[in-house]
């Protein structure tokens, strides 16, 4: 019997957001006949650059809270939050009402001021991490990739330098500038060098240490020393000090990698001492996901530029760069127009998202539910030969699957796809990540309930043990 778990504020209200019967599979196969017909049209009409339909064939019809219904009436528990987007759940009734009421008054504003836009800027200034509070300017964007592009542009303008340090395993988007920072070769194989002056350093991926160290703290943080050497020593390949270091405080697509606290603080301190802009990319980890409003708050540092997206808008695309005034005040005037960014409808939705995060205390909820779920997954790690490591913060959790714990050889992509598809067949939508696709990630809407997490764990546990027998 699972341990008794405390109830959260508004728990009954939160329970009612999701389909109560999830998971529920009523077709003989998944996808069922209606979903299969839609997928057939997708394969015929959409570009093959799509990822999900070719890895985990799945069709969305409706979604509520932390659950999804497909066109055949099958109901799934959502462990993706639509890639960390729907923190307050899918189609929250108050979000739907805000969209309706705002749409009757004003939607598109051609990147010009509106009351909602100013309200959102003020709110972002209030919730920003560390010394950013009350000391920032905001630039709106349409996506995380958009916002990351702005961060690079702003850092270069501000410093008058051009080179950038990014990290191995990092993901910052797929538009031309930030694609140069993204390390997954599948996104850029066959393309010419898109942006020069990008330098990569090993991330603090302790389970697979690039320096072959036994682990933190015995490693003496060689990864942080490497970054310091790049910035401060000659002959490292940089022409000058870089304009910026861009970092995910918890790597997302790279494998849900949580670095040691001292790694982040060390890199940040070196940036501060050398007039290098520290860009904190929180597109996936921000807005309560890790148990704090922003993941960087776990490390007690203040970024110079904060890259936001995904959960900021939730069901409506909104992104932003929040920057210290000392950076933003150096930018040239009228130099960054974005036609659709900061429109009244998107700002109204973002404001309601933040209001719901505060009301439901989603930072505390993510922390406590994440610890509960992680404890069960850690037990599974001890029980099986193929779970190499369970790691995470809050409800941003990665499970690294390996063929052999001793050698840490990554599980084959074929077996990882099998695991994801079997999870879907049992009524749980979840995705992989990691450099070899060997990490199973759990990032549900933060309004998921303990009961739904228990069901997910039982399904995952049984399938991991089945996979162990298969190999």
Which DSSP helix (H) or strand (E) runs through 372? helix 362-383
Give the pLDDT confidence score for residue 38 in this predicted structure: 98
Q: How confident is the prediction for the chain on average, in pLDDT?
A: 96
- Contact assessment for residue 83 and residue 71, using Cβ atoms and an 8 Å cutoff: no
Q: Within the chain, which residue ranges are assigned CATH 3.40.640.10?
A: 96-359
With beta carbons less than 8 A apart as the criterion, state whether 55 and 64 touch.
no
**Segment among 3-12, 216-225, 252-261, 355-364 with least mean pLDDT:** 3-12
Instruction: State residue 215's pLDDT score.
Output: 86
pLDDT of residue 471: 87
Q: How far is CA 256 from the centre of its chain?
A: 9
pLDDT bin (cut points 50, 70, 90) of residue 1 is: very low
Asked if the model's pLDDT at residue 3 lies above 80, the reply is: no
Strand order, beta sheet including 428-429: 62-64, 67-69, 75-78, 428-429
Q: Which helix (H) or strand (E) holds 375?
A: helix 362-383
**pLDDT over 90 (residue 193):** no
pLDDT at 83 over 80: yes
**pLDDT, position 6:** 58
Residue 7 in this model has a pLDDT that exceeds 90: no
Q: What is the pLDDT of residue 9?
A: 77
CATH 3.90.1150.10, applies to 11-78+361-470: yes
How many Å apart are CA 23 and CA 17, to the nearest integer? 15
Q: Using a pLDDT cut of 70, give the percent of the chain over it.
A: 99
Q: Answer for the pair 288, 308: CB distance below 8 angstroms, yes or no.
A: no
- Is residue 229 classed exposed, middle or buried when 0-12, 13-18 and 19+ CB atoms within 10 A define those classes? middle
- CATH of the domain spanning 96-359: 3.40.640.10
Listed in order, the ranges of the chain carrying CATH 3.90.1150.10 are 11-78+361-470
Q: What is the pLDDT of residue 8?
A: 77
Question: 196-214, pLDDT tens digit by residue?
Answer: 999 999 999 999 999 999 8
**Cα separations (Å) of 89 from 249, 317, 319, 428?**
24, 15, 18, 16
- Rounded CA-CA distance 429/423 in Å is 7
pLDDT exceeds cutoff 50 at 63: yes
State mean pLDDT over 80-89.
98
Q: What is the pTM of this model?
A: 0.96
Q: Is the pLDDT of residue 2 over 80?
A: no
5 falls in which pLDDT band (50, 70, 90)? low
Instruction: List CB contacts of 209: < 8 A, sequence separation 6 or more.
Output: 215, 219, 222, 223
| pLDDT for the residue 214 | 87
Q: Which helix (H) or strand (E) holds 468?
A: helix 450-470
The pLDDT tens digits of the residues spanning 370-422 come to 999 999 999 999 999 999 999 999 999 999 999 999 999 999 999 999 999 99
Mean pLDDT, residues 330-340 taken together = 94
CA 288, CA 286: separation in Å to the nearest integer? 6
User: How many whole angstroms separate alpha carbon 442 and alpha carbon 375?
Assistant: 14
């Amino acid at each position: 019997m699972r341990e008794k778990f405390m109830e959260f504020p508004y728990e009954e209200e939160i329970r009612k957001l999701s389909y109560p019967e999830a998971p529920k599979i009523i077709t003989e196969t998944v996808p069922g006949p209606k979903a299969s017909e839609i997928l057939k049209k997708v394969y015929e009409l959409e570009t093959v650059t799509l990822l999900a339909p070719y890895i985990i064939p799945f069709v969305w019809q409706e979604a509520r809270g932390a659950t999804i219904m497909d066109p055949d009436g099958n109901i799934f528990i959502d462990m993706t939050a639509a890639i960390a987007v729907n923190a307050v759940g899918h189609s929250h009734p108050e979000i739907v009402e805000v969209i309706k009421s705002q749409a009757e008054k004003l939607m598109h504003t051609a990147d010009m001021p509106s009351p909602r836009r100013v309200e959102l800027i003020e709110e972002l200034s209030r919730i920003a991490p560390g010394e950013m509070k009350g000391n920032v300017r905001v630039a709106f964007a349409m996506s995380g990739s958009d916002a990351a592009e702005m961060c690079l542009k702003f850092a270069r303008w501000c410093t008058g330098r051009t080179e950038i340090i990014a990290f191995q395993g990092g993901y910052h988007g797929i538009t031309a500038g930030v694609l140069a920072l993204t390390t997954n070769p599948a996104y850029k194989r066959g393309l010419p060098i898109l942006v020069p002056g990008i330098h990569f350093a090993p991330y603090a991926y302790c389970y697979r240490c690039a320096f072959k160290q036994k682990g933190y703290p015995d490693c003496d943080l060689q990864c942080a020393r490497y970054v310091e050497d790049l910035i401060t020593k000659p002959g490292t390949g940089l022409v000058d000090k870089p304009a910026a270091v861009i970092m995910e405080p918890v790597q997302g697509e790279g494998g849900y990698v949580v670095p040691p606290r001292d790694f982040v603080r060390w890199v940040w301190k070196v940036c501060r001492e050398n007039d290098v802009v520290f860009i904190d990319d929180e597109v996936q980890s921000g807005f309560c996901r890790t148990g704090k409003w922003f993941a960087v708050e776990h490390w007690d540092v203040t970024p110079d530029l904060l890259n936001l997206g995904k959960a900021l808008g939730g069901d409506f695309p909104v992104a932003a760069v929040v920057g210290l005034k000392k950076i933003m005040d150096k930018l040239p005037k009228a130099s960054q127009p974005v036609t659709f960014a900061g429109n009244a409808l998107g700002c109204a939705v973002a404001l309601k998202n933040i209001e719901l995060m505060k009301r439901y205390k989603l930072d505390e909820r993510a922390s406590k539910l994440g610890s509960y779920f992680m404890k069960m997954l850690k037990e599974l790690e001890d029980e099986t030969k193929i779970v190499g490591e369970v790691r995470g913060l809050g409800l941003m959790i990665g499970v690294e699957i390996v063929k052999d714990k001793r050698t840490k050889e990554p599980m084959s992509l074929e077996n990882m796809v099998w695991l994801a598809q079997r999870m879907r067949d049992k009524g749980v939508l979840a995705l992989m990540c990691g450099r070899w696709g060997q990490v199973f990630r759990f990032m549900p809407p933060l309004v998921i309930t303990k009961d739904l997490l228990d069901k997910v764990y039982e399904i995952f546990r049984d399938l991991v043990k089945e996979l162990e027998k298969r190999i």
